[in-house]
Amino acid sequence: MFSGKTEELVRRVKRAQYGRQKVQVFKPRIDNRYSQDHVQSHDANRVLSISVDSAREILNLVEDNTRVVGIDEAQFFDEAIVEVANKLAYRGIRVIVAGLDMDFRGLPFGPMPKLLSIAENVTKLSAVCVQCGNPASRSQRVMGGEHVVAVGAKEMYEARCRFCHEPSTIHVTPPGLTKANENDSDSRPAVREN
Ligand code: ZN
């Protein structure tokens, strides 16, 4: 989540816009920590986006003259995002998807494995491991101070490499959540770029 995915999405979208191509960007509605109508990287570079509740909604919202569709935080979408991306691509639309490939346990994240499979091109970005400085591919869930219920706060995660990552370090039980549905919140860690 510290690898600059959104920056890269914004960069590609802006290039298409400079080329006078109509671009539409979509993101799942769950992420409203920043503006609801923009995809924003931490350097405040941003592009207009549309928040949707489900992947299929995207199909209805893509306009006839749209040449490029950007999708941010794809790991939070339902499985239908795979079919949606395929349908758009068959229409001749360039589909640029940004997402986190692994969750904080180091497991494939939501629909990302299938999206990676059907993509013509895949760019894997890495962050820097805060423990050893090597390229980091994983998100370590860490707890700090009062941030006990802060699901969605980037302070709860840090970039780690394969060797420094501790997938078993799961110690968040927000008040009111039982052990059973703790996993539900765990499957939606913060991935907002920073
Ligand atoms: Zn490391």
159: helix, coil or strand? strand
Which residues participate in catalysis according to the annotation? 73
How many Å lie between the centroid of ligand 1 and the Cα of residue 129? 5
CA-based nearest residue to 35, from 24, 51, 22, 23:
51
Q: Which range marks the domain in which residue 147 is found?
A: 127-186
pTM of the predicted structure, to 2 decimals: 0.77
Q: Identify whether 17 is part of a domain.
A: yes
pLDDT digits (tens, 9 = 90+) for 131-190: 999 999 999 988 644 443 345 566 788 999 999 999 865 554 444 444 444 444 444 444
Q: Same structural domain for residues 94 and 28? A: yes
Q: What is the pLDDT of residue 33?
A: 53
Residue 69 resides in a domain: yes
In a domain, 194, yes or no: no
Q: What is the pLDDT of residues 22-45, one digit of tens each?
A: 999 999 987 555 555 767 665 556
Maximum separation of any 2 CA atoms in the chain, in Å = 51
Specify the pairing of strand 138-141 against strand 157-160: antiparallel
My answer on whether 172 and 114 are in the same domain is no
Residue 184 dihedral angles phi and psi, to the nearest 5°: -60, -45
Residues 113 and 131 in one domain: no
Instruction: Please indicate, yes or no, whether residues 103 and 136 belong to a single structural domain of this protein.
Output: no
CATH number at residue 33: 3.40.50.300
* Ligand 1 center–CA 141 separation, angstroms: 14
> Measured between alpha carbons, how far is 100 from 86 in angstroms, rounded to an integer?
19
First to last CA, the chain: 8
Residue finishing a domain among 71, 92, 118: 118
148 exposed, middle or buried (CB, 10 Å; 0-12, 13-18, 19+)? middle
Q: Do 63 and 159 share a domain, yes or no? A: no
Residues 6+ apart with CB under 8 A from 57: none
Within this chain, do residues 12 and 33 fall inside the same structural domain, yes or no? yes
User: How many whole angstroms from 161 Cα to the centroid of ligand 1?
Assistant: 4
Distance from the Cα of residue 66 to its chain's centroid:
22
Domain boundary pick from 88, 118, 148: 118
Whole-angstrom distance, CA of residue 81 vs CA of residue 115: 8
Residues 148 and 114 in one domain: no
* CA gap 84, 32 in Å, rounded: 23
Residue that is last in its domain, among 96, 118, 140: 118
Instruction: Answer yes or no: do 58 and 151 share one domain.
Output: no
- Which tokens in the block code for residue 98? 């940004």
Do 89 and 140 lie in a common domain?
no
- Is the domain of 173 the same as that of 143? yes
Four-point Cα dihedral 121, 161, 166, 111, nearest 10:
-10
CATH code assigned at 163: 3.30.60
Query: Is position 106 within any domain?
Result: yes
Query: Model confidence over 61-101: pLDDT tens digits?
Result: 999 999 999 999 999 999 999 999 999 999 999 999 999 99
Residue 104 shares a structural domain with residue 133: no
Domain contains 192: no
Place of tokens 């894997």: 124
141 is a domain residue? yes
168 CA from centroid of ligand 1 (Å): 16
Q: Are 65 and 34 in contact (CB under 8 A)?
A: no
Taking the centre of ligand 1 as the mean of its atom positions, its distance from the CA of residue 136, in whole angstroms, is 7
Domain count of the fold of the chain:
2
